[in-house]
Amino acid sequence: AAGWDTEAGDCVIEDDWPGYSLDLFNYPAHYSGDLDCVIVPHGVIMDRTERIARNIMDDLGDHDIVVLCVLKGGYQFCADLVDRIKALSRNSNCTIPMRVHFIRLKSYLNDQSTEDLHILGAEDMSFLAGKAIVGTGKTMKTLLKHVEAFKPKMIKVAGLLVKRVSQNSACLPDYVGFEIPNRFVVGYALDYNEYFRDLNHICVISESGKMKYKI
């Protein structure tokens, strides 16, 4: 898709990608039957995150970094990304101070984006946002408007996943892990009604999984 750099374009997961069979991976037994396939294995997420950390370091130079982690779905990606950035700074002579803040956003009920978006814990800030998934892009747009009001020197958004949906094109992260089909995914801190955060791989939820945890 248009609009982002060629490297992110190389991490496109096509609509006809069937994913990996769950039988090939280890995952919590309490979710057997609730998932269709593994769409991004944990190790691949970690490798891609390491590369994004390097790109961020290259771009930000010696600016101070204030990380804004968007809870809850972004916590794992943010933690792993910060970890990789710390490792890179340890191994280079340009080390940058990094502060980490957390805010909480909630906009999904079941697998649907709801109208009301809640921002909790946003006070004084100037940021780089760490977000795990950009679904409709609505959340990101609202958050950016809020952050811009604090007039930071630079704002960069890192999102692990971007869904291929048409409304998205206006608002994309500066750093994208993977572009994925427009399907509801869970795992690596992404939830379905608070379930599946305890799954390491990013998986496609099954119809019976949706039924089982519907509220």
Interaction site with Mg ion (CB under 5 A): 108, 191
CA dist., res. 128 & res. 57, Å (int): 12
**Helix or strand run (H / E) with residue 156:** strand 156-163
Write the burial class of residue 182 (CB in 10 Å: 0-12 exposed, 13-18 middle, 19+ buried): exposed
Q: Are 188 and 160 in contact (CB under 8 A)?
A: yes
CA dist., res. 163 & res. 182, Å (int): 5
108 lines the binding site for ligand HPA (CB under 6 A):
yes
Q: Which of 11, 52, 67, 73 binds ligand HPA (CB under 6 A)?
A: 73
Q: Which of 40, 69, 162, 190 binds ligand HPA (CB under 6 A)?
A: 190
Q: Are 81 and 186 in contact (CB under 8 A)?
A: no
Least distance between ligand HPA and beta carbon 56 (Å): 23
**Closer of 108 and 213 to Mg ion (Cβ):** 108
CA dist., res. 207 & res. 34, Å (int): 8
Pick from Mg ion, ligand HPA, none: which does 133 bind, CB < 5 to 8 A by kind?
A: ligand HPA
**Closer of 50 and 191 to Mg ion (Cβ):** 191
Q: Of all residues in this chain, which one has the CB nearest to ligand HPA in the complex?
A: 135
Least distance between ligand HPA and beta carbon 92 (Å): 34
Least distance between ligand HPA and beta carbon 40 (Å): 12
Pick from ligand HPA, Mg ion, none: which does 135 bind, CB < 5 to 8 A by kind?
A: ligand HPA
**Closer of 14 and 115 to Mg ion (Cβ):** 115
Q: Are 159 and 133 in contact (CB under 8 A)?
A: yes
Kindly give the pairing relationship between strand 98-109 and strand 65-71: parallel
Q: Which of 130, 135, 159, 209 binds ligand HPA (CB under 6 A)?
A: 135
85 lines the binding site for ligand HPA (CB under 6 A):
no
Neighbouring CB atoms inside 10 A of 38's CB total 23
Residues 7-66 touching ligand HPA, rule: CB under 6 A, are: none
Please report where in the chains the tokens 């039957």 appear, as a residue.
Answer: 33
Contacting residues toward ligand HPA, per CB under 6 A: 73, 108, 133, 135, 184-186, 190-191
